[in-house]
Chains A and B, each alone.
Chain A
Amino acid sequence: MKHHTVLRIVTKLIIPLILLFGLYIQFHGDYSAGGGFQAGVIIASGFILYNIIFGLEVGFSILSINMTKNLMAIGVLLYIAVGFMGIIQGLNFLEYNSLLSSSKEGQLLGIFLVELGVGLTVSNVMILIFYSFNNMGEKL
């Protein structure tokens, strides 16, 4: 669809906005509506839009299938690593209070990192699903 000029221009204009909105949702998740799940899906939708318009080859050059898998894994790892921080410091799993000196800031940092992990994983999973359905030959 590269030759649809309107689509191309509009897409180029709109993708930064989508990503920005995704990031907004991501970072505001800890004290208002939103969070990693929604943000991940929104960011993925921006990326998928890009793929639809400019073709899969371009998409792969930015983010290959293996890369999405790796990022997915890293997202989960981040989540669990934060969880384990609590255990290492002698508290319960996912207890963030001790991440920083004051418990309130610790809470903030903890939920932020966890949401980041969730967002990373969700967006990459969405992209991966998109990729997989595109190359039907390749197995999930």
Chain B
Amino acid sequence: MLYVLNMTLFLIGLFIIVRESNLIKKVIGLNIFQSSVFIFYILISKVEGGVPPIISADQSIYSNPLPHVLILTAIVVSIATTSLALALIIRIKDKYGTIEEDDIDLG
């Protein structure tokens, strides 16, 4: 069920990127899109009955910590992408005076 929700998020994000003309909204869509995959990673790391992976004496079942670590990296990448996209959008606004993709006149 969670996976279905997750994939819904995935598709919503994709849809926004493809459909929207406003560049900021596109970036938001991209973020949703990426987040859905991050959540997917977190979902697969869940172990039935597991606790956070901090070693202690009275627990033996942990959630898998590796996907968390991976997703940390992926989040950093996503931040970098977002900031670069925003920086580009600022320059686009400077240059063309609009951030609506459809309104930008290249001719």
List A residues at the B interface (Cβ < 8 Å): 32-33, 37, 122, 129, 132-133, 136, 139-140
B54 contacts A133, C-beta separation under 8 Å: no
Task: State A136–B90 Cα separation when bound (angstroms).
Answer: 7
User: Contacts of A37 on B, CB cut-off 8 Å?
Assistant: 72, 76
**In the complex, residue of chain A having the shortest beta-carbon distance to the beta carbon of B68:** A33
Which of A33, A122, A140 contacts B87 (CB under 8 A)?
Answer: A140
CB distance from A36 to the nearest CB of B (A): 10
Residues on B with beta carbons closer than 8 Å to the beta carbon of A33: 52, 54
C-alpha spacing A120/B72, complex, angstroms: 17
Determine which of A32, A129, A136, A139 lies in contact with B83 in the assembled complex, contact meaning CB atoms within 8 Å: A129
Q: Is the CB of A139 within 8 A of B54?
A: no
Interface residues of B in 48-78 (CB under 8 A from A): 52, 54, 72, 76
For the complex of A and B, list the 5 residue pairs with the smallest distance between their C-beta atoms, beginning with the closest. A140-B87, A129-B83, A136-B90, A37-B72, A32-B54
Which residues on B are within 8 Å of A, measured CB to CB? 52, 54, 72, 76, 83-84, 86-87, 90-91, 94
- Taking CB atoms, residues of chain B closer than 8 Å to A32 are 54
Shortest distance in angstroms between B81's beta carbon and chain A's nearest beta carbon?
12
Assess the B72–A139 pair: CB atoms within 8 A. no
Minimum Cβ distance to chain B for residue A15 (Å): 23
- Residues of B within 8 Å of A136, CB to CB, are 90, 94
- How far apart are the CA atoms of A32 and B76 in the complex, in Å? 20
Output the residue of B72, B84, B87 with the most chain A CB within 10 A: B87
Q: Is the CB of B52 within 8 A of A139?
A: no
Instruction: Identify 7 new A-B residue pairs, CB closer than 8 A, beyond the known A37-B72, A122-B76, A139-B91.
Output: A33-B54, A37-B76, A129-B83, A132-B87, A133-B86, A140-B84, A140-B87
CA distance A132 to B84 in the complex (A): 11
CB distance from B98 to the nearest CB of A (A): 15
List, sorted by A's number, 5 A–B pairs whose CB atoms are closer than 8 Å.
A32-B54, A33-B54, A37-B72, A132-B87, A133-B90
